[in-house]
Amino acid sequence: MATVSNLNGNIADSGFHVIPFASGWKCYFRAMASPCEILIGACPESEAQRLSLLAWTEVKRIEQKFSRYRDDNIIFEINTSQGKVIEIDEETHRLLTFSDQCFQASEGLFDITSGVLRKAWAFHSNAVIPSQAEIEELLPLVGWQNVKWDANSIQLKPMMELDFGGIGKEYAADRALLLLTESHRQPYLVNLGGDIATNGALFPEHEWRVGIEAISDKLVDNVLKVQEGAIATSGDSRRYLLSNGIRYSHILNPQTGWPIKNAPHSMTIMAPSCVQAGMLSSLALLQGQDAESFLDEMGIQYWSQR
């Protein structure tokens, strides 16, 4: 675990602060490019500070270790390995195993090597639709099935890249909650930019209420009530590309290199853990038009916005 001292520089930058909130405490900070908050059941302030710091430290640790925007971590080492075998630790192996299992379960639709397609697809305001040739040039670099990996190492083909962006925030939320619960058994809610994990209500009548913000004026806000468990949302929100009247979602099909058609703008799912909720919502979006029926057939409750 990262020590507090070497993270101290970041703690102020991240806007970390703990304030009394409703029945207990609320810790606020920014991490993983999102506003984050930890709600803590009542305890002395010093304990709330300690617990907040514990959660913050874990979230920051995961961000620093697996972010693809850094040049000092395992992801950077793997993505710049140029075909060399890279040693990995147990936690990285666990994340790879999870990604592999999701790749298998989704029959290749969820693929942590699909990030290179971003080189062709940009989703800023004046971006243009790439040509089929540009996409086909990148497609050989996509394909988890081509990655060699085992418990201690991983070997990517040159130019291939890994991206844990689709699971990092949910993993951090679950991990923070686990550490908090282990350290002091009481109710918590961890919210990392909308990926939420809770371990139980504050008291029997209590339920956490989580508001889903409507993404357009046509839709209405929704409030979910949870006693325990997790909530995750996937979606394109405001990130899509309009060209000649066609709306291109930023969710790309790793097999064709093209955006998924007619996917909901957002998909919110409740599940026992945040990684599970996040993966189910990601897989649902990858079904495009069939996102809702995909979840209906599994009997999962969801809130989709189209």
Partner 1 sequence: MMNKKLGVLLLLVIPLTACSGLGVKPWQRDILSKPEMTFGDSPMDAAFDDHIYFSKEASSGGRSFSGGGCGCN
Partner 2 sequence: MQLDKKTTVYDLIALASCSLLGVSTPVLAADTSIDDWKVDTAILYYNETDRVSAVESAVSISKNLGGDKILSGKITMDSLSGSSHNGAAISDYEQTFTSPSGEETYTIAPGDVPLDPNFEDDRNSFSLQMSQPLTRVMNLEYGAAYSSEYDYKSLSVNASLMRDFNQRNTTLSAGFSYAQDEINPRDGLPVLYSLMSDNTKSGSDTKNTIDLLMGVTQVINRNTIMQFNYGFGNSTGYHNDPYKIVSIVSDATNAPLDYLFENRPDSRTKHSLYWQTKHHFDQDMVDFSLRLMADDWGVNSQTLDMHYRWNISDNNYLEPHVRYYTQSAADFYEEKISNAGLTAEQVATQYQNEGRDVTADYRLGNMDATTIGVKWGTRLFGTHQLTSRIELYQQSGDSKVSDVDAIIFQVGYGLKF
Residues binding partner 2 (CB under 8 A) = 94-95, 97-98, 101-102, 104-106, 171, 174-175, 177-178, 181, 197-200, 203-205, 228-230, 271-273, 275-276, 279-280, 283, 294, 297-298, 300
- Chain-centroid distance, C-alpha 96: 15
**By the rule CB under 8 A, 282 interacts with partner 1:** yes
Q: Are strands 240-243 and 246-249 parallel, antiparallel or unpaired?
A: antiparallel
The reply to whether 210 sits near partner 1 by the rule CB under 8 A is yes
Q: How far is the CB of 22 from partner 1 (least distance, A)?
A: 4
Residues 6 or more apart in contact with residue 162 via CB below 8 angstroms: 68, 75, 78, 79, 112, 113, 115, 156
Q: How far is the CB of 272 from partner 2 (least distance, A)?
A: 5
Task: Choose, by CB under 8 A, the member of 208, 248, 294, 302 that binds partner 1.
Answer: 208
- The amino acid that residue 185 corresponds to is R
Which class for 14: exposed (0-12), middle (13-18), buried (19 or more C-beta within 10 A)?
middle
d(CA 150, CA 170): 24
Please say whether the beta carbons of 291 and 267 come within 8 A. Answer: yes
Closer to partner 1 by CB, 74 or 284: give it: 284
Using CA atoms, how far residue 171 sits from 42, 112, 175, 255, in Å, is: 25, 15, 6, 25
Cβ-based nearer residue to partner 1, 193 or 288:
193
The CB-of-192 to partner 1 minimum distance in angstroms stands at 10
Distance CA 77, CA 181 (A): 33
Q: How far is it, in rounded angstroms, from Cα 289 to Cα 118?
A: 23
Residue/partner pairs of 214-218 with CB below 8 Å, 24 or more apart: 214/305, 215/265, 215/266, 215/305, 216/265, 216/305
Q: Any contact of residue 21 with partner 1 (CB under 8 A)?
A: yes
* Binding positions for partner 1, 128-187, rule CB under 8 A: 163, 165-166, 169, 186
250 binds, among partner 1, partner 2, none (CB under 5 to 8 A by kind): partner 1
Q: Interaction with partner 1 in 107-136: which residues (CB under 8 A)?
A: 110-111, 114-115, 117-118
Residues within the interface to partner 1 (CB under 8 A)? 21-24, 33-35, 37, 39, 41-43, 110-111, 114-115, 117-118, 163, 165-166, 169, 186, 189, 191, 193-194, 196, 202-203, 206-213, 215, 221, 231, 233-235, 237, 239, 250-252, 254, 266, 278, 282, 285-286
